[in-house]
Amino acid sequence: MEDMSTRDEEKARELALEKGREEERKRLADIERAKEEARTEAIKGEKARQKEKDRSGSGLKYIIYILILAVIVAVVAWFSLNVTVTNVAPGNALPFRTNYGVSFPEGQTITIGNTHINVLTYQNELISDIDGDRQKLVVGEDRVISERRAVITILGAVTLMDTNFRIDLKYKGERDNRAYFDMAVHTSKQVPDILLTQLLPPEIDARPI
């Protein structure tokens, strides 16, 4: 009986050990399976992130290309800008006014539109020559550039501005061989300053006031 009992106990222990080993194998298999699933999910997530990054990068590239194209078009349009000034009969309504402080270099002919201006100081007076019409001015006196029509176009066909204008100049004095004026530009239409200044040559250093 003892031998049989001992064998039964040994068999029971072996079964218990085998069961324990089987459970350990299952536990290890579950761990490996979990690790594999985690790796698979990580790979999927990385691929999704990369795909999203690629989409975002492509979208950003398109936006950059569009911006570059817009800048190129704007530059081409700006450098194709053309200003045409012609004489008109005076008397049109000119309700809009823009004021500038300007200075003319003495003895140099300056062109505003189709008007040629030359100024020269002499014995506390200013001799102003506008299209051959000479007048003497003292500080505080006015000189008028008669009404004209200005048309600004780009690309040879697109009109940006079409307005009549008149320029009033008030002599402010001379300094460092430059004659200073307050300039009032009267226009028949509201004109953005960036276009209006296209009528004014850089030599007079026009500054809004």
List pLDDT tens digits, range 59-106: 777 788 788 877 776 666 556 678 888 989 888 899 999 999 999 999
The neighbour count for residue 169, using CB atoms within 10 Å, is 22
Q: What is the pLDDT, as a whole number, of residue 1?
A: 53
Residues 15, 10: Cα–Cα separation, whole Å: 9
| Reported pTM | 0.63
For 137-165, what is the mean pLDDT? 89
CA proximity to 202, closest of 120, 108, 137: 108
Non-local (6+) Cβ contacts of 86 within 8 A are 114, 148, 149, 151
Report the b/e string of 107-142 with b at 16+ CB within 10 A.
Answer: eeebebbebebbbbbeeeebebebeeeeeebeeeee
Eight-class DSSP state of 114: T
